Amino acid sequence: MEQSKNDIESYDDQQKWVLDSSLDSRGEIPGRARTGAWRAALFIIAIEFSERLSYFGISTSLVVYLTTILHQDLKMAVRNANYWSGVTTLMPLLGGFVADAYIGRYATVLLATIIYLMGLILLTLSWFIPGLKPCHEEVCVEPRRAHEIAFFIAIYLISIGTGGHKPSLESFGADQFEDDHPEERKMKMSYFNWWSAGLCAGVLTAVTIVVYIEDHIGWGVAGIILTVVMATSLLVFLIGKPFYRYRAPSGSPLTPMLQVFVAAVAKRHLPRPNDSSLLHELSREEYNKGRLLSRTEKLKFLDKAAIIENRGSENASAEKESPWKLATVTKVEELKLLINMIPIWFFTLAFGICATQSTTFFIKQAIIMDRHIGHNFIVPPSSMFALVALSMIISVTVYEKILVPLSRRLTGKERGISILQRIGTGMVFSLLAMIIAALVERKRLDYTKQHHIPMNVIWLAPQFIVIGIADAFTLVGLQEYFYDQVPDSMRSLGIGLYLSVVGAASFVNNLLMTVTDRLAEEISGKTLFGKDLNSSRLDRFYWTLAALTAANICFFVFVARRYTYKSVQSSVVVADGGDDGC
């Protein structure tokens, strides 16, 4: 017999059933013992490992490919890499919206994976079909136009696939944990850390094994491996179907936000009541699309959207009012959440700019340095990114196993330190990474000029390691922040907002390169970026980023100290002496 939410009220039943409006694969209320939590999340983390293996197998070698196979100069190659990275990390905004509003997260992941596979297949075929090969000779002086077209179509198909895959898969994994269940809520706090560890394991494999194959065996062979791995991940995802918890799409999440604003403007002349009970809100029984939110004291003007006009008259009925004239307190608070996120999103862009250097200029530096280990082995330049992945894995593990328990004891808070404190800590490490990068690049230029031989690539290790630590704090913190603080109906879009930080930062980075290059030419008569790094002054660009990041941290702290977190009405039924939930 199918259970109704109203029939399940006891503490024992809440331990048995999941009551967060999710469904199992049969369309029924999920049983806690056989669905969700780590048994489902591990399938999803394994799939993320495969997707990141494919993505970073391409992205970390993209500058190398553009300069060595397509023969683009440094500035053009970095700009094309940034454009692709920007599109790839902005596409999740569209993918997240489609998943939340129309087809659901599970279906979006399936569709996105198929598009992703199409891109990988085309990329692989461009190395085996005679008409699509870069050229007929062993060494290409000028690549064939057909190969360039096939290559760019392939990588932008991968961008589209990533746009649906990333926000939907990550939020789908977090959906496997119920927010109102104390044990699962703690599991969810760990989920984003272990998600990032799985992600980094994929990155580490990509920048060691896959990059080595690209460098020493061939790009086509690497493409075959990436395609097979991605196809296998699709099969794994389908096998896990009986264990997942699903959420139905709820229509456009942006329409209710617009309705709140219209209603507030229409009632702008009404006095705002201090008593929350005078504002319109649904009961728990009536509201089945997420959690009810408590009223906050920020953006008070919007509260007017929930005022019931003509209260006490015979014709006054909240149920009959149009949503364009009357909103619930929860809908008002959801709009406030989105507005409060805007400055946080903006002041994390500087971190995103720093993070993009690790896959562009950091890799380009490694290309022209001495990469010999012993007499015979040469480290592929993209493999230096392995230091970022290793550093991030170690940092996430230390944070989860040592820093979180310690900070819980010191602060008495369930999370230890707040999400925004975690993000800010990573920003400080990104500042340190840019300072180290500037000092090392200055030393490299002096060493090359003095000795006429390249400096050893090991000098780049500190900047790769420190940016990895920054990623462990800020990137993971941003994932958790944008998933946790958006309205429940917009969580895929929330992950898209997190990814858009890096995407927008890639475009801002290109703009910053152009502006600093022109300013340097006007001031000194010499540009910052020449045809290669030895004729460039990359150290000055790194110092510019360091100054920008330092100023940005000050603004971020100012905004973060005034930020109000989502306030959820507690709905957990607990046994005597148990945890009191939220």
> Which residue intervals of 305-418 are DSSP H helices?
329-346, 349-356, 361-367, 386-398, 404-411
What's the pTM value of the predicted model, to 2 decimals? 0.76
Which tokens hold the place of 324? 């364009």
Task: Please give the pLDDT value at position 441.
Answer: 93
pLDDT digits (tens, 9 = 90+) for 378-423: 888 888 888 998 898 899 889 888 888 888 888 887 777 889 999 9
By the 10 Å C-beta count (0-12 exposed, 13-18 middle, 19+ buried), 289 is classed as: middle
Domains, the chain, in order of start with CATH, read: 37-249+347-561 (1.20.1250.20), 254-330 (no CATH)
Task: Please give the pLDDT value at position 203.
Answer: 85
Task: Please give the pLDDT value at position 79.
Answer: 83
The parts of the chain modelled with pLDDT lower than 70 are 1-15, 20, 136-141, 283-290, 310-320, 570-582
Task: Please give the pLDDT value at position 575.
Answer: 33
Task: Please give the pLDDT value at position 288.
Answer: 58
| Residue among 34, 3, 479 nearest 240 (CA) | 34
Task: Please give the pLDDT value at position 311.
Answer: 62
pLDDT digits (tens, 9 = 90+) for 520-541: 888 887 878 877 788 888 899 9
Task: Please give the pLDDT value at position 6.
Answer: 47
CB-CB contact of 167 with 499 (8 Å): yes
Task: Please give the pLDDT value at position 187.
Answer: 82
Task: Please give the pLDDT value at position 314.
Answer: 44
Does the CA dihedral 268-271-277-278 come out positive or negative? negative
For residues 245-280, b (16+ Cβ closer than 10 Å) or e, as one string? bbbebbeebeebbebbbbbbeebeeeeeeeeeeebb
Which tokens hold the place of 172? 């789908």
